[in-house]
Amino acid sequence: MENIDFVAALSRWFHFMAGVMWIGLLYYFNFIQVAALKNAAADGTAGGITKHVAPRALLFFRWAAVLTWITGAALLGPLFVDAFLLRNGMGPIGIGAWLGTIMLFNVWVLIWPNQKKILGMVQASDEEKNTARRVAFLASRTNTMLSIPLLFFMAGGMSHRALFGL
């Protein structure tokens, strides 16, 4: 029993740290970098961001997403299936888990492969780069939108469960 508690405590700690890094970088991309790149492109200074900042931010972003999901799954432990099937009182946290899983999918399937084209890490024509830019942008914005209910169901809605009647 003590070992299970220890794993859960460590999982929660790492889940929070990785989650802060993941969502923090997601907000950096959406609230700061998109607008900054637009201005930087206008005065010819975008290279500094696309060459030195974006690849590093994306590295920590995508692996923090993986670590957040794994530690979240560990934290659910034997209640993992109940959460994803939204049953036995695990519905609210299960909604959070589903949102996080969709967001992880968006990071690895829609954002990262398209960012590699945009940043020139893989070969792509100008037309492919334009499509990649739009897909990556919308996936990133979708994740920003999903982070709002995710944080409600993961954090506020759970700690104040009685208040919200959940």
Partner 1 sequence: MKNPLDSLWGTVIAGVVLTVVLYVFSKNFLG
Check binding of 157 to partner 1 (CB under 8 A): yes
Tokens of 106: 């968006």
- Contacts with partner 1, 115-134, as mask; x by CB under 8 A: --------------------
Of 21, 70, 79, 138, the one binding partner 1 by CB under 8 A: 138
Check binding of 141 to partner 1 (CB under 8 A): yes
The count of residues interacting with partner 1 (CB under 8 A) is 24
Check binding of 8 to partner 1 (CB under 8 A): no
The Cβ of residue 101 has, within 10 Å, a number of other Cβ atoms equal to 14
- Pairwise CA distance, residues 85 & 97, whole Å: 10
Which residue, among 112, 110, 104, 7, has the nearest Cα to 65 in the 3D structure? 104
Tokens of 121: 């890490």
Check binding of 91 to partner 1 (CB under 8 A): yes
| Minimum distance from residue 123 beta carbon to partner 1 (Å) | 28
Tokens of 143: 């994740």
Segment near partner 1 (CB under 8 A), from 11-19, 57-65, 121-129, 152-160?
152-160
Residue 45 φ then ψ, to 5°: -115, 15
| Minimum distance from residue 133 beta carbon to partner 1 (Å) | 13
Tokens of 60: 């920590």
- Pairwise CA distance, residues 4 & 97, whole Å: 21
Binding interface with partner 1 (CB under 8 A): 30-31, 86-89, 91-92, 95, 138, 141-142, 144-149, 152-153, 157, 164-166
